Amino acid sequence: MDLDFWWLLIIPVAFALGWMAARYDLKALLSESANLPRSYFRGLNFLLNEQPDQAIDAFIEVVKLDPETIELHFALGNLFRRRGETDRAIRIHQNLLSRADLPANEHSHALIELGQDFLKAGLLDRAEETFARLDSGEHALAAQRALLTIYEIEKEWRKAIETAAKLEAMGAPSLVKEVAQFRCELAQEALNRKNGAQAADELALALEANPQNVRATILAGDVAAAAGEHEAAIAAWRRVEEQNATYLPLVAEKLMKAYTALSRADEGAALLTEYVKRYGSSDLLDIAYPHVAALRGDDVAHTLAREQMRASPNLAGMMRLIEAQMAAAEEPRRSELELIRMLIKQRTKNLPRYTCQNCGFRARLFYWQCPGCSGWETYAPRRVEPIATPQ
């Protein structure tokens, strides 16, 4: 009985306390809102109505009336940067940084925003200098990521490797795929300078970072071929099948050149024929066809193209079938087939061949790094629309 009596007292008291607290919070909120300039609310209204120009004008008026509104400075800077007005964004963030009373956390926030302004404006040196100042704190990880982007743009591959190591030490996801590609870039530069020894060293480090890096294996074959070691080049390029067979079209022509240099062109044609049958690749067929026709005859090449067309109809196979029929046809049939061939060629010559699996950027050339999103190994070496090699 006594317990029921106390509950009857506690419930009304708790309700009254909650009501009083809610009234106090509401009064505090109304008091704070009353202190804000009307321009602030007009700016918010413009933003909600997707009118950024009017919102910026309203917020600028607020900043003039109350320079202490730090968060509003950041909001304005972001708006300017998104609109491409990087000079105005830079001025806003530089003004913030010039304030002696700016708290430490807001100072680092202003630095990261200023670095993004410089990066958006293409002022890479100034962006690098700004991000380098953020070597600790809550924005350090974002700064290192931005530095990595800068070094990739500037092709400063050694700095990119060092920055990737810092990012991993700070807890970022593994960057072994990127590091292996950076090593491959260094190897390609060394190969261009005809420094095979340095290229080989970089490729060894690339494969140490990522043993499945196909590009390093392909470049290892290029290094051997440049030194005249065609057997070693063939061995390297054939390892691509073990790593990822979809990349075989990237080495098919290289293999034929190496076998030809060793006076074993027929062996090379046989290998490419086997690849076409095993993997059903129209890209491989497009490369293998002229070599098979030259070494084994048009009938053998025709049969290979016909079998591939039955397994996977495509424009490359169609082009090759028409060429095979042209070789055996007489006038006027040959002229008719040539007309069909030219129409297909005209239809396909400007089509994009490869599509980035990350951003969808389409290109006629194969890239290890997407020009659209800068992602590495995002292009499948399989063409979207098979295109015959121009004659």
Annotated binding site, which residues?
356, 359, 370, 373
Q: Tokens 């962006």 map to which residue? A: 127
End-to-end CA separation in angstroms for the chain: 102
Distance in angstroms (rounded) separating the CA atoms of residues 199 and 213:
15
Q: DSSP code of 381?
A: S
**Across-strand partners of 354?**
363
Q: Which residues are annotated as a binding site for Fe cation?
A: 356, 359, 370, 373
Contact 150, 116 (CB under 8 A): no
Residue 91 phi/psi, 5° resolution? -65, -40
Residue 111 phi/psi, 5° resolution? -65, -45
Give the DSSP H or E segment for 369.
none
The Cα angle at residue 107 between residues 105 and 111, in degrees rounded to 5: 120
The Cα angle at residue 133 between residues 143 and 140, in degrees rounded to 5: 35
C-alpha count within 13 angstroms, C-beta hemisphere, residue 373: 13
Contact 181, 368 (CB under 8 A): yes
Residue 193 phi/psi, 5° resolution? -85, 5
Beta strands, E only, 120-170: none
Alpha helices of the chain — where are they, by DSSP H?
2-35, 38-48, 52-65, 70-82, 86-97, 104-121, 124-132, 140-154, 157-169, 176-192, 196-209, 214-226, 230-238, 240-243, 249-261, 265-279, 282-296, 298-311, 315-328, 333-348
Closest-CA residue to 291 (of 270, 314, 263, 321): 270
Q: Tokens 């027929």 map to which residue? A: 266
Sequence-ordered list of residues with C-beta below 8 angstroms from that of 260, at least 6 positions apart, any chain: 268
Closest-CA residue to 190 (of 164, 219, 165): 219
Residue 80 phi/psi, 5° resolution? -60, -45
Q: Tokens 């304030």 map to which residue? A: 99
